[in-house]
A and B are shown apart, each in its own frame.
Chain A
Amino acid sequence: MRANTALMQKADAPAPASAYVSRAAPGRLSAGGNVKVGETETDWAALVIRVRDHGDTQAFAALFRHFAPRVKAFLMKSGAGAALAEECAQDVMATLWQKAHLFDPARASVATWVFTIARNRRIDALRKARRPEPEDLPWGPEPEPDQADALGLAQDTRRLGEALARLPEKQRALIERAYFGELSHTEIAAETGLPLGTIKSRIRLALDRLRQSMT
């Protein structure tokens, strides 16, 4: 896996100065500037699995310390006052505990999953509207978790973070404004300049496998 990662990144590329890439110890980059999966990053997905399977409060505390302050910041950027953002961030983390069994690392990173929970909480708290959600997947027998899918998605997600960090300031600001709720749907332009196709294709394959296991 690590060899793969190294191949995917240019050896002479500068260390991605990205705040968008989750990393437990930002200083521990290898000499070439490559971020190595599993060495410098906390495996958030594994922590969610520990919460799911064992009600592991230490794993939850680690997730809380990382994500709760970011969720709170996200909600404040979206227009919530500090007190409401604090309350909602706690709710979001509580939902992570309660719905841990719905987390599928082949279809979303923990940050992505947390984002969807925070977004829904925001719609509920700030807009007082319902959010219709697509029909749940999967139903039927529990599919085998696919490690390769999950690792591949984690890599794609990291590359997305790096690409976001490399975007021209103006373009990145536009994406942030869309997701922080500052743009109406008619103002949102879909051209992001981000490598979304690879993530889409990988998730599409994971969905196809899931569908097969459901029939």
Chain B
Amino acid sequence: MTIRHHLTDALLMAYSAGQLPEAFALVAATHISLCDECRARLSAYDAVGGTLIEGCAPAAMDETSLTATLARLTGAGAPARPRRPERPAPGLFPAPLRDYVGGDLAAVKWRPVGLGVRQAILPTAPGGVARLLYIPAGRAVPDHGHRGTELTLVLQGAFRDASDRFGPGDLEVADQGVEHTPVAETGADCICLAATDAPLRFKSLLPRLARPFLRM
């Protein structure tokens, strides 16, 4: 998988700082699962957090703090010994996405949203909406702009818009004001994980009518 489109520095830093809405954090975690370049960049931002913790003036702990913590731990003897993480079962979705779907592709509860496009909204905290999108090969997603930011991560197939081509693992970051019409390439159907932090804004009448169904 050759990934050409990555998380921005600002998104990585916000994810490291723990400040992304859950829907965005899900897209970030899923992309990083596929992309060692962003995994390494994230580690560098985490190192900033480590350096800040190191620099915090120590706060006084309760007197019994250490004994209480030790009592909690040593009852059970030495730390549970290394069970290395298991190799993930083969499938389309990386582990964080599987957690939210409750399985791989076969477990997705798709709902049709018209023109062959299907979606499944994933349960995340308020402040953003995460959805899986299924776009038949050659189909377009309705033209829309955004009030906030929209992240779109390709899991299967590919899409193009005015700016570029996005293949598996690629992440498109569309900021406020971007009007675009992503079109799935012919060949494989396109499956994406998308997240918005504000409602989408459609240009034409029909998609606006479809909005309640899309919950966009």
Residues on A lying within 8 angstroms of B by beta carbon are 18-22, 51-52, 54-55, 57, 60-61, 64-65, 67-74, 76-77, 82, 85-86, 89-90, 93-94, 97-101, 107-116, 118-120, 122-123, 127-140, 142, 156-157, 160-161, 164-165, 175-176, 178-181, 183-186, 188-192, 194, 196-197, 199-201, 203-204, 207-208, 211
Q: Hey, which chain B residues are within 8 Å of A93, CB to CB?
A: 69
Main secondary structure of the interface of A (DSSP, over half): helix
The residue among A77, A111, A115 with the most chain B CB atoms within 10 A of its own CB is A115
A-B contacts, 14 of them at CB < 8 A, read A65-B66, A86-B61, A97-B73, A112-B46, A115-B50, A115-B53, A132-B100, A136-B85, A136-B95, A157-B51, A164-B55, A181-B19, A196-B41, A203-B40
Q: Hey, which chain A residues are within 8 Å of B186, CB to CB?
A: none
**Contacts A70-B58, A135-B94, A200-B44: A161 and B51 contacting too (C-beta < 8 A)?**
yes
Residues on B lying within 8 angstroms of A by beta carbon are 8-14, 16-22, 24-26, 28-30, 32-33, 36-37, 39-62, 65-66, 68-70, 72-74, 77-82, 84-88, 94-96, 99-100, 124-125, 148-149, 197
Question: Are A179 and B69 neighbours in the complex by a CB distance under 8 Å?
Answer: no
Question: Are A179 and B49 neighbours in the complex by a CB distance under 8 Å?
Answer: yes
- B47 (CB) vs chain A CBs: closest residue: A112
| Residue in B9, B33, B79 whose CB lies within 8 Å of A135 | B33
Q: Measured between alpha carbons, how far is A119 from B49 in the docked complex, in Å?
A: 9
From residue B110, how far is it (CB to closest CB) to chain A in Å? Answer: 21
Q: Measured between alpha carbons, how far is A137 from B95 in the docked complex, in Å?
A: 11
- A214 (CB) vs chain B CBs: closest residue: B87
Question: Are A19 and B55 neighbours in the complex by a CB distance under 8 Å?
Answer: yes
Q: Compute the total of residue contacts between A and B using a CB distance below 8 Å.
A: 254
Q: Measured between alpha carbons, how far is A137 from B124 in the docked complex, in Å?
A: 25
Q: Hey, which chain B residues are within 8 Å of A122, CB to CB?
A: 18
Q: Hey, which chain B residues are within 8 Å of A201, CB to CB?
A: 40
Question: Are A90 and B22 neighbours in the complex by a CB distance under 8 Å?
Answer: no
Q: Measured between alpha carbons, how far is A178 from B45 in the docked complex, in Å?
A: 11
Q: Hey, which chain A residues are within 8 Å of B95, CB to CB?
A: 134-136
Question: Are A164 and B8 neighbours in the complex by a CB distance under 8 Å?
Answer: no
Question: Are A112 and B49 neighbours in the complex by a CB distance under 8 Å?
Answer: yes
Question: Are B125 and A127 neighbours in the complex by a CB distance under 8 Å?
Answer: yes
From residue B9, how far is it (CB to closest CB) to chain A in Å? Answer: 3
Question: Are A64 and B69 neighbours in the complex by a CB distance under 8 Å?
Answer: yes
In order of increasing CB-CB distance, the 10 nearest A-B pairs are A55-B78, A112-B50, A190-B9, A69-B58, A136-B85, A111-B50, A185-B14, A101-B82, A115-B49, A135-B33
Question: Are B50 and A108 neighbours in the complex by a CB distance under 8 Å?
Answer: yes
| Residue in A85, A107, A134, A180 whose CB lies within 8 Å of B33 | A134
Question: Are B69 and A94 neighbours in the complex by a CB distance under 8 Å?
Answer: yes
Q: Measured between alpha carbons, how far is A60 from B71 in the docked complex, in Å?
A: 12
The residue among B10, B54, B66, B82 with the most chain A CB atoms within 10 A of its own CB is B54
Question: Are A71 and B53 neighbours in the complex by a CB distance under 8 Å?
Answer: yes
From residue B66, how far is it (CB to closest CB) to chain A in Å? Answer: 5
**Contacts A69-B61, A204-B40, A207-B39: A60 and B70 contacting too (C-beta < 8 A)?**
yes
From residue A13, how far is it (CB to closest CB) to chain B in Å? Answer: 18
Question: Are B43 and A200 neighbours in the complex by a CB distance under 8 Å?
Answer: yes
